[in-house]
Structure formats: C-alpha cells, structure tokens
Amino acid sequence: MAPRWKGKAAEAKALAEPMSKIVSRLQSSLIESNSQGLLSGCTVLLAADPEQTELFNHACFGRPVITSEKDKQWFQLSLEEALYLCSVMKCIKIVGENTCVKDEEQLWHYMASKRAGFPILFKAYSHLRMKNWVVRAGSQYGVDFVAYRHHPALVHSEYAVLVLSDEDGDRSARLRVWSDFHCTLRLCGSVAKTLLVLHVSKNGNGAIPPSSLDHYRVEERIVTRWNPEQSRENQTIVQKELCKSGT
C-alpha cells in the first residue's frame, strides 16, 4: 500500500527534513542539557525547553502535558519511548521518586513489572524506531502499535503492528484461529492500513536476561487478504484482451 500523504506538499516536506535528522537534533539537545525524566506510574515525565518542545513534537516522542508553567513544557513518555531515549539513544537519564538515577537493570525490572510482555514490546518498538519509523500506540485499532513513514501531520499511518512471541503465551495466542485473522484484517482494511506482524524470538535456548535485547531477533511478516479479483487467472485474461486490442 502506497503512503497516503496529507496534502500536495507533504511528501516534499518530509523528504526535505528526514525523520532521522530530526531525531538526531533532539538527541544532541537532550544530551547537552543533561535531561532527566521522572518515573510516574506507567509513564515518564520530562521537562523540555522551547527548542526541545519543538523537537519533541517534530520527532513524535511523548505527548505534551498542559500545565501553568510558561518557561517549559512537560512531556509524558510511554515506557517504550522513555527506555529508547535512555538505553538506545543515550540522551536522557531516568530518576525515581527519590530523585536517584535508575540504571538500566533497575529500569527493566520496574517497566517489566508495570506492563506484561514489556521486553518483547520494547524490542519491537526499538526495531521500528531504529529504521526511522514513527511509532505510536495502536490500541484504538486493536493492535500494539501503528507505524508512520513520517510525522502524522504529513502522512497517515501505514502499518498496524502486532507483536508476537513464543515467550509470551497469551500474546502469541493471538491470530492462531481464523476468526482472529479475519477480524484483524477486516479492521486494518477498513482504516487503510497493512497488518505487520513482528515475531520476536530468542537466539539460542539458554536463559537470557530481559534487558539483553541483542539476543533477540525480529521477523517481519506482512499479512494481507486474498482478493479473488486479482487472481492470476483473471490477470491473464485481462492481459490477453489488452494484447488483442493493441494488435
């Protein structure tokens, strides 16, 4: 399915300012300001200056929180977003209620306790983000994430993403019966999205700490409905008719 750009100039604007460059500028700004996020339940709160606010919005990290403060803007980051900025991009630190900086192992234990299947979901999230896809929550479409080619203001989301793994019995049970496939594909079709299934699995059979994501691999599968109108036989007939009309 081709990208559905929002307006005639949207594609040109996206090409002129690639998402990779926007994210890189955000990374540099956060490192320079020694930014810290605060753990708050199932989210992380982070304060941004005016320049960082613009970069956060353009890079599509977090959601702005309305406050009375005029000199800075607070952003609410999902657990996946916060850990990606902390452990992959190395541009923020995360502190707990006691204002002590959490190391990666502590963050993993905390976040895994707050969300079932978090290591698998984070591996899928980081897999897409590292390929410069904008990744947002997909609960409104019955999936784990939705993926955009660029900023949602410029283009509609292209993929509805389901994350499966043999490590998570409840999660991997999805799409095992035809009715699940049928409902999910019909929903994706009705909102003009392609179903992308990311299957996350371990490399090897030994015990692997959840934070060792290098030991996990991701297999991408695109699932589509078969359209009888596009069958090989019909296409052959059309091609023959076109050949006859051209001779």
Give catalytic residues, as residue numbers.
148, 156, 193
Distances from the Cα of 247 to the Cα of 3, 234, 235, angstroms: 36, 20, 19
Q: Of 120, 107, 96, which Cα lies nearest the Cα of 217? A: 120
Instruction: Specify which residues 78 forms β-bridges with.
Output: 43
What CA–CA distance (Å, rounded) separates 44 from 89? 16
CA-CA-CA-CA torsion sign (87, 206, 118, 98): negative
Q: What residues contact 48, with CB distance under 8 A and at least 6 apart?
A: 35, 55, 56, 72, 73, 74, 75
Q: Which two tokens stand for residue 168?
A: 């998570």
CA 31 from centroid of its chain's CA atoms: 23
